[in-house]
Amino acid sequence: MDDEQVARALGALSQVHRLRALRALVVTGPEGLTPGVLSEQLGISPASMSFHLKELSIAGLVSQTRDGRHLIYRAAFGRMNELMGFLTANCCAGQPCELDTPSCHCPP
């Protein structure tokens, strides 16, 4: 990921409804959810949920597929891992990270 992609992803997550939607999709796993189910779970209007899912999609944090008449949204785990990797890439001053050394700040 480059700086612009990271900024777009973090910007998308800086809104509470989008953060909650992404977390709900993470919990759901690969099955994903429809916007209607997400809307109901989070107490957000369907129109608002569609807007937030579009923003998460533009940021690359969710994917969508069509299942008949329904759109299914899923967390983009690969992209989320890329984001986390970008954010922690220099946690040990650019050196390979050894999780059991005192200089490492990476979560176990």
Q: For the chain, what is the domain count?
A: 1
Range of the domain at 7: 3-88
- pLDDT, averaged in runs of 10, over the chain (108 residues): 93 96 96 96 95 96 94 96 86 65 59
Dist CA 90 CA 96 (whole Å): 9
105 within a domain of the structure (yes/no): no
108 domain-assigned: no
Asked if residue 107 belongs to a domain, the reply is no
Yes or no: say if 83 and 1 are a contact pair by the CB < 8 Å rule.
yes
Confidence at residue 100, expressed as pLDDT on a 0 to 100 scale: 59
33 domain residue, yes or no:
yes
Is residue 93 a part of any domain in this protein?
no
41-79 b/e with 16+ CB inside 10 Å = b?
ebebeeeebbbbbebbeebbbbbeeeeeeebbbbbbeeb
Give the three-state DSSP class for 35: helix
Is residue 51 within 8 Å of residue 3, measured between CB atoms? no
| Domain-located, residue 100 | no
CATH number of the CATH domain containing 32 = 1.10.10.10
Q: Quick one: pLDDT at residue 94?
A: 65
pTM: 0.82
Evaluate whether residue 104 is within a structural domain.
no
